[in-house]
Amino acid sequence: MQTLRPPFMMIILFTVLCGGLYPAVVTGLAQILFPRQAAGSLIFDHSGRVVGSELIGQPFTDPAYLWPRPSASAEFAYNPMASGGSNAGPTNPAYLATVAKRVQDLRAAGINGPVPADLAQASASGLDPHITPQAANQQIQRIAAARSMSAEQVASVIAARTEPRQWGFMGAPRVNVLVINLELDTLIP
The 10s digit of each residue's pLDDT in 102-131 is 999 999 998 888 999 999 998 888 888 999
**Pairing relationship of beta strands 174-176 and 42-44 according to DSSP bridges:** unpaired
* pLDDT score of 96 more than 90: yes
User: Can you give the pLDDT at residue 69?
Assistant: 94
What's the rounded mean pLDDT across residues 8-25?
A: 95
User: Can you give the pLDDT at residue 46?
Assistant: 80
The 10s digit of each residue's pLDDT in 29-38 is 999 999 998 9
Which has the closest alpha carbon to 118: 133, 135, 98, 105?
A: 135
Burial 156-182 (b: 16+ CB within 10 A, else e): ebbeebbeeeeeeeeeeebbbbbbbbb
**Cβ(119)–Cβ(134) under 8 Å?**
no
The 10s digit of each residue's pLDDT in 37-76 is 898 899 988 888 999 999 999 999 999 999 999 988 878 8
User: Can you give the pLDDT at residue 143?
Assistant: 96
Q: Is 57 exposed, middle or buried (0-12, 13-18, 19+ CB in 10 A)?
A: buried
* pLDDT score of 14 more than 90: yes
| Distance in angstroms (rounded) separating the CA atoms of residues 64 and 76 | 22
| Distance in angstroms (rounded) separating the CA atoms of residues 123 and 137 | 19
The 10s digit of each residue's pLDDT in 142-181 is 999 999 999 999 999 999 999 999 999 999 999 999 999 9
Stronger pLDDT, 76 or 24, i.e. the higher one: 24
Residues 6+ apart with CB under 8 A from 5: none
Question: Residue 11: which pLDDT band, with cuts at 50, 70 and 90?
Answer: very high
Which has the closest alpha carbon to 138: 103, 171, 113?
A: 113
User: Can you give the pLDDT at residue 75?
Assistant: 80
Measuring CA to CA, how many Å separate 158 from each of 110, 133, 183? 18, 8, 9
* pLDDT score of 24 more than 90: yes
User: Can you give the pLDDT at residue 170?
Assistant: 94
- Of the listed ranges 4-8, 37-41, 86-90, the least confidently predicted one is 86-90
User: Can you give the pLDDT at residue 25?
Assistant: 95
The beta strands (E) that lie in 60-177 are given as 130-131, 162-163, 174-176
Domain ranges of the chain: 1-39, 42-187
Which has the closest alpha carbon to 52: 176, 136, 145, 189?
A: 176
For the entire predicted model, the pTM comes to 0.81
| Distance in angstroms (rounded) separating the CA atoms of residues 86 and 104 | 20
